[in-house]
Amino acid sequence: MTRGPRWGAAVLAVALLAGGCTRDDDGPFHPGAADVGDPYVPGAGNGGYDVGHYALKVRYDPADDRLTGEAVLTVTATRALSRFQLDLAGLTVDRVRVDGAPAKHRRDGAELVITPPRGLPAGQRFAVEVTYGGVPEPLPSAELGDGGFHATGDGAIALGQPESASTWYPVNDHPSDKATYDIEVTVPDGLAALSNGVPKGTGSRGGWTTWRWSEASPMASYLSTLVIGDYRVATGTHGGKPIVTAVAAGLPADGPAAASVARTGEIADFLAGRFGPYPFDAYGGIVVADDRIRYALETQSRPVYGPGFFRGAGPNTDVVAHELAHQWFGDSVSVARWSDLWLNEGFATYAEWLWAEHDGRRTVERAFTDRYAVTDWSKPTVDPGRAAMFGDAVYQRGALAVHALRRAVGDDTFFRILRGWLAERRDGTATTADFVAHAERTAGKPLRPLFDAWLVGASAPALP
């Protein structure tokens, strides 16, 4: 580990990777970059364009695990393009059209390379239609575990971080390119098909039911989800917005999982009192029963929880607080690159501390001192390396840095920093350097030495 500031160098490295030269083999048009240059997800994401909207229609039959889909992407070229790439893993493409005209396409591993009939000038908005199908599979990762599409006994679960979306639809699979979504999922009658955003109703025909969802706020692709199966689905409203929760039918109707997600609205309201207005048009949560899902994920507006969080005698509302906090930190304001993941996880872990104190169990100050005493300061929070991106340094040391900031500036300024950050960056992306600069502006004093010590210093920092 390098002592002192690290994120300035990381910014430069990513900029150099993303902006590397491309040979001009196609006159005034250029091939789009096949990689955004994020070393944490080599090969994921693509350059040269920005996706504004995904309209997805998929049909899935658990009897043979086959998925068929039609995706229509609304895209803007950010440079003059002769061809461009989408991420799509393991599925067969039947047809591609660009602005209604047939386009050449080929596979290059997990990349779908598309050559439109004419070059696309910079600034041009265009539509990409992809018809595809096959038996989707997860993306294997020895370091991070398998993410993506998992067939289950009664349906499927599409979930994972940092990559999952490309296993069930063509996508620019990096959080730096957020987009809005309309999702239609057709499944056999009797099964639920749950996804992100506002429910737009269901319709049945010929033994199949189509479930419709709409997410009108920009969403990073890894936050999209698809959960199909036998679920007890509860719908209602909270604060004038729809709330949809679902618990796998194989879990007890009156058990810890159901009791925990039943408090979603209450916990979201508590967090809104600290962070500012809830940022999306719907609330919810989904508890799955598949033991392969050994984590919870902040899928936008509707977090998904693995069953292991609810094996105790009583509810586990801390995990609900963590994933709901991500709706602000991570979903509304997303990381521009994965090396800054603490901006998601450090604040969500801190939200757990806030909720536990509110719930009458442990004070934030006690959580801080207990964690400070056992922290391994040799492991950095910023740019921890791909293998350590979900380690304690990102989550727990990140939360320590958040509380150190609170101690240094006082409660009033601290919460003004958080609320201002979330309001200014809503629906966008950011880096650690962005947050430090915002905190300094709001506090009216230098804070870089504090963040250096608490995020990347190699020894225990002095308590502020």
Residue % of the chain over a pLDDT of 70: 94
Give the DSSP per-residue string, 60-77: EETTTTEEEEEEEEEEEE
Structural domains of the chain sorted by starting position, each given as residue range(s) with its CATH number in brackets: 230-319 (1.10.390.10), 338-456 (1.10.390.10)
- Residue 352 in this model has a pLDDT that exceeds 50: yes
Residues near 298 by beta carbon (within 8 Å), at least 6 away in sequence: 223, 323, 324, 326, 327, 330, 331, 344, 348
Burial degree of 115 (CB within 10 A; 0-12, 13-18, 19+): middle
- Residue 12 in this model has a pLDDT that exceeds 60: no
- Residue 31 in this model has a pLDDT that exceeds 90: no
Other beta carbons less than 10 A from residue 76's beta carbon:
14
pTM above 0.85, yes or no: yes
How do residues 309-340 score in pLDDT, each as one tens digit? 999 989 999 999 999 999 999 999 999 999 99
- Residue 206 in this model has a pLDDT that exceeds 90: yes
- Helical ranges in 329-376 per DSSP H: 342-358, 364-374
Parallel, antiparallel or unpaired: strands 81-87 and 30-31: parallel
Which residues make beta-bridge pairs with 156? 151, 228
Residues 309, 286 contacting (CB under 8 angstroms): no
Q: What is the mean pLDDT of the chain?
A: 93
> Residue 51: which of 165, 211, 155 has the closest Cα?
165
Which residues make beta-bridge pairs with 158? 149, 226
| Cα(459)–Cα(393) distance, integer angstroms | 13
Residue 154 exposure: Cα atoms within 13 Å on the Cβ side: 16
DSSP 167: G
Tokens coding 351: 């939200």
Tokens coding 158: 């599409």
Would you call 394 helix, strand, or coil by DSSP? Answer: helix
Whole-number pLDDT of residue 23: 33
